Every structure is written in C-alpha cells, then in structure tokens.
Structure 1
Amino acid sequence: MITLENKDILNFTQYLEVERNYSAATVLAYQADVTDFTTFLNSENIANYAAVEMLDIRLYLTKLHEQLLSRSSVSRKLSSLRSFYAYLVTTNQTDQNPLASVSHARKYVSLPHFFYSEEMNELFETAQTRQTKLASRDLALLEVLYATGMRVSECEAMRLADIDMNYHTVLVHGKGSKERHVPLGQFAIDALQTYFEKCRTPLLQHFNETHTAVFINKNGKPLTVRGIRYCLDQLMKATTLTGKIHPHMLRHTFATDLMNAGADMRTVQELLGHVSLSSTQIYTHVTKERLQETYRNAHPRA
C-alpha cells in the first residue's frame, strides 16, 4: 500500500514550488490529482508507482469517466500525472512513464463569459449611485478590475507601492512570481483617489491598521479573494442584471473589449500576463461570436 503522504509526492510538490516556481494553488491542484491517483492504486493493490502499467492508466481513466468528470477535469488530471511521472523518471524513481502513449482527453473549448457594454454601463452606474459606507471602495474595485484585467488573486495582492498615480500604471504580481506593468485609465485613478480619501484612510485610522493593502474590508483588514467576490456579488444584486458576477468575467470583458477595438493579440497577451499566446487566442473566438451575433440581429437578410 502506498501512503497518501509519501516522500515521492512531498518531493514532487517541493520540486514544483522551488524548481518550477508554480503558484501555491497550482501545486495544491497537482498534489490533489496525484493523491487521488494514489488512492486508486491502493484500491487496485498496486504496490508502488513504478509498478503502474498503461492498462492501469486506462482503468483509472474509466473510473474517472464513471464519476462523470468533465473532459477538462480528466485532461488536467492526466497532465498532472504526466508531470509527476516525468519527475519520477528524471529522479530515477522509475525507468518508464506509463502515460507516454496515453493520448490527452479531448478538451472542448468553452468561450469565456463576458459583459456587453450595456451591462458594464449599468454596473458602473449602480456602483456610482450606491449609498453604502463602502460604495467608493466597490466602485474603485470595479474600475481597477475592468481597467487592468488582472486576476482576483492579483488584485488581493496589490499594495499601495504598486500604484503609480503620476504615470497611471500598476505593477501586477502575477502567477509564478512574474510581474507586469499595466496601464490604469483616468476613471480608475479618480475612483482610487476618492476611495483612499473617503474610505480607506478613515477606516485604517479608526481601526489603527498600518498595512498597505489597497483594498480593505469594513474592519480595515486586507480584502481577501472571497471578500472581493462578495463585494461584486452585492453590486450585481443591486442592478437589474440576472445571474452572478465573477471577477474573471471582468478580466474576460477587458480582453474582449480590447480585441474588439483592434488591439493586437500580443499586446493583450502581455496585459493579461499570459505565458502562452494560445491562452489569449480564445478571445478571437469571442469577438467572432459577437460579430456574428451582431450581424444576425442587425442585418435584414441575415
């Protein structure tokens, strides 16, 4: 039996953190996938990772499909196991990779959800007219997320020193400790200045807080990822729009609007912090979809 907290998994996660410089969330996902696979091996009485054969991998895939996992989830698990076995081969823990001849589960590309301009206008109008104590913070949060396209985790990590009010830029701390400078529009700058004066500074003084997190909660503490999502959910509920708002929708809208306005893909890639251009290419599909929908709705003979 293979223990779920064995040295192979521990060494692998340390390798991902130190050598590959993966984020904590990515490392946890890899660890969870390998642990799940280990549980399967124990259920099949397979003594160790080196004893795994291609037929065992096929059986594991069958089990995953029986669990009704999506193709993308299965593909991710396979990717995690490929990396794990590549590590085991490199460190001489095994001399073969049983996943070498197993093809990737085909992934269906789902187009990202984004807001149309009318919906964004309503979000901004609602944020500007709300009378809550933290209304200026919520408006600044909305402006910054839409102006920069940053991830919610990057927004959480943002500190005062990252913002350059004079040059209208923000230093974004992205995945894998990679940094990028992203422009801040005038609307975002104005919203931040109002938020600092009316909300952030008074709250920090009241609660005797001295941290430099840009966005804070009602108690003056740094706003967490969960807190950011809650703020946006409350803002969404105050509109006439249906459904839930996810911070990533603002990121998708940022990229889609740039592409629709003629921005080249390389520029959008840099602004989003994508390592691979293929991650950015999905927005070309989004803009084509929007173009086709506009055509169908507007052209008399569509």
Structure 2
Amino acid sequence: MISPAARDALQTWLEHQRALKNASDNTLTAYRGDVVEFLAFITEHKGAPQGLGALQDIALSDMRAWMAQSRGTGIGARSLARKLSAVKAFYRWLAEREGFEATAVLSVRAPKFQKKLPRPLAKDAARSLIDTIGIQSEQPWIAARDVAVVTLLWGCGLRISEALSLKGPDAPLPDVLRIFGKGNKERVVPVLPAARESVAVYLQLCPHAQTADAPLFRAVRGGALGPGPIQKVMARARMQLGLPASATPHAMRHSFATHLLDAGGDLRAIQELLGHASLSTTQAYTAVDTARLMEVYDRAHPRA
C-alpha cells in the first residue's frame, strides 16, 4: 500500500511532466507504473506505508535491495535502467519541492546494457518487401492500404504511430507533411511521389468514406487501423523473402535514415526529419561506422 501523500506527490509530478515537458500519455503511463512499483516495494521493504518524510530517508541499501528484487523477477538490464530513470526523475523533482537531498537515489548507477537498434534493410530488400506486401491480401484495397503505410515509413521516415494518426483531410498528401511526433513535437517531412501515389491508390480502392474526423487508414470494418495488421503483413512478407526478424515496421524508418546518410545526407537534416531531440540520438540510430560519421562531420565542419 502506498501512502496517500506519496500517491498525491506522484500525481502532481505526472501533471508537471505533462504540462511543462509535454510528455505523452504512453510516457506518463510508463512513469506511473515504474514509480508505483518502486514505492510499493519500499512500503513492503520497510514494513509500513512511506509518507513523504520517510521517503526522504531512503538509503543506498534500500535502492540496491529494490534493484536486486527487480532483477530477480527476470527483467533485463534495459528495463531496469528505464525504471531507475523514472524513479530518479521523480525523486529529483520531489527533493527540490520538499527541500531535501536525494543523494542515495540519484547516485545509483544504472545497469549497463547493449543497445539494440533495428538493422536497416538494403534498398533492394526494402523494395522487395513492399512489393511482397502488396500481394498478401485477397482484397485489393487492404493490399493497397498496407503498401501505402509501409511506403510512408520508408519514404518519409515516419513512426508507425505517426502514419496511422493521419486523418482524412491529410489526403491527397501534399508535398510536405506536418507531423506531430513524440512529446507532440512538430516537424515538417517531405513526401516523395511514391508515397503520395501509394496513398492515392489506396484511397481510390478504399470502400470507407473519408471524412474530416475519420482516420486516413482504416481497418476492415472502417475503424482506425492499428499497428497489428501492418506488423503481421510485414512478418509474412519477410518470411517469404527470407529476411531477418529485424525487418519490422520500425526498421523501415531506420532504413530511411540510413539510406539518406549513405547518399550523403547531412546528420542535422536527418535529425530534423526524424524528429530527434539531439544529434547523438540520430548518430546512434543510424548506426553508421566511425569513419563514415567523421566524413560527414568534416564536410559539415571543415577545418580551417
């Protein structure tokens, strides 16, 4: 059981994250779950609900006990690092508000883990995947829909959630799209002719009327299309082509960035197209070798 004071503080912090940092609903849900899990452990570990005063007395041994218990449940280092990050963010805010030192919490080091990034597809493999997706469904409009969605992922570097959030008024697709990504951050993305044409073909075949408040991409019965059908159709297509399991919808976005970089694209421009907050994220995401990164960097920042 979590004390009312701790629960109220958590809710206030979450509202702060939404208002000042524009955190998404998914982020807030993850934060809530991680911090509640931590507070529940501390309650059980200490043998009594922990009010705000007691939470100020958390020791390094308490943090280590929580991390050991978490690892004992079978979660990986990456998941534990995420949970610790949420707890630290909450404690950093709480310590500032309540005026105490949170050294024991903030000094804990996250477990090391190997970052796993989706591997990009070669250009020919990406094209073959889209062609194969186009013959997976017996209903032409569904096949055209699936091709249109995946083409947007590869051709515009959209996240699948961003592609599926498009509405009826977004069609016909213009030369550039205004996309609201993570944290509701806006970015402008050029639309390639292939992407525009694939969406146009889908709209010609779609049996559901497009209205101002309706989603652009529709499920079989006319509701909003979720990511599941796209994930499934890509899984079938990649099995037929003998592609690795890493050939997922997100890998198409990854391929977009990598192919642009390979063609000489500037990292800053790619960062803006992807909607990354920092250049370091783009560097890690594209996973190019050091020599290639230095070549691009030297062109962007020539030495005197």
Mark yes or no: TM-score above 0.5: yes
Q: Output the CA distance in 1 between the equivalents of 2:81 and 2:41.
A: 17
Distance 1:287 1:215, change over 3 A: farther
Instruction: Report how far residue 22 of structure 1 moved.
Output: 0.3
SS in 1 for 2:198: helix
Q: How large is the Cα RMSD of the aligned pairs?
A: 2.7
Q: Which residue matches 2:66?
A: 60
- 1:132-151 matches, within 5 Å, as 132-133=138-139, 134-151=142-159
* Count of residues in correspondence between the two structures: 284
Structure 2, unaligned runs of 5 or more: 293-304
Q: Which residue matches 2:100?
A: 95
Taking structure 1 as the reference length, the TM-score comes to 0.84
- The residue identity in structure 2 corresponding to 1:183 is P
Q: Output the CA distance in 1 between the equivalents of 2:118 and 2:241.
A: 22
Question: Does the CA contact (< 8 Å) of 2:118 and 2:246 recur in 1?
Answer: no
1:108 equivalent to 2:110? Answer no
212-221 or 126-135: bigger deviation: 126-135
Distance 1:41 1:289, change over 3 A: farther
Q: Output the CA distance in 2 between the equivalents of 1:248 and 1:140.
A: 15
Instruction: Report how far residue 117 of structure 1 moved.
Output: 2.5
Instruction: Report how far residue 195 of structure 1 moved.
Output: 0.7
Q: Which residue matches 1:294?
A: none
Q: Which residue matches 1:44?
A: 45
52-61 or 281-290: bigger deviation: 281-290
1:264 equivalent to 2:266? Answer yes
Distance 1:2 1:123, change over 3 A: same
Q: Which residue matches 2:296?
A: none
Q: Which residue matches 1:86?
A: 92
Instruction: Report how far residue 101 of structure 1 moved.
Output: 2.2
Q: Which residue matches 2:30?
A: 29
Q: Which residue matches 1:2?
A: 2
Question: Does the CA contact (< 8 Å) of 1:163 and 1:169 recur in 2?
Answer: no
Q: Output the CA distance in 1 between the equivalents of 2:125 and 2:259.
A: 13
Question: Does the CA contact (< 8 Å) of 1:113 and 1:249 recur in 2?
Answer: yes
Structure 1, unaligned runs of 5 or more: 291-302
Question: Does the CA contact (< 8 Å) of 1:260 and 1:287 recur in 2?
Answer: no
Distance 1:21 1:122, change over 3 A: same
Q: Which residue matches 1:155?
A: 163
- 1:194-233 matches, within 5 Å, as 194-199=201-206, 202-204=207-209, 211-233=213-235
Q: Output the CA distance in 2 between the equivalents of 1:148 and 1:288.
A: 25
Distance 1:164 1:78, change over 3 A: same
SS in 2 for 1:6: helix
Q: Deviations over 1:239-281 (max 9, x none)?
A: 4545374221111111111111111111111111000111111
- The residue identity in structure 2 corresponding to 1:221 is G
Instruction: Report how far residue 188 of structure 1 moved.
Output: 0.8
SS in 2 for 1:109: coil
Taking structure 2 as the reference length, the TM-score comes to 0.83
Identity rate, percent: 29
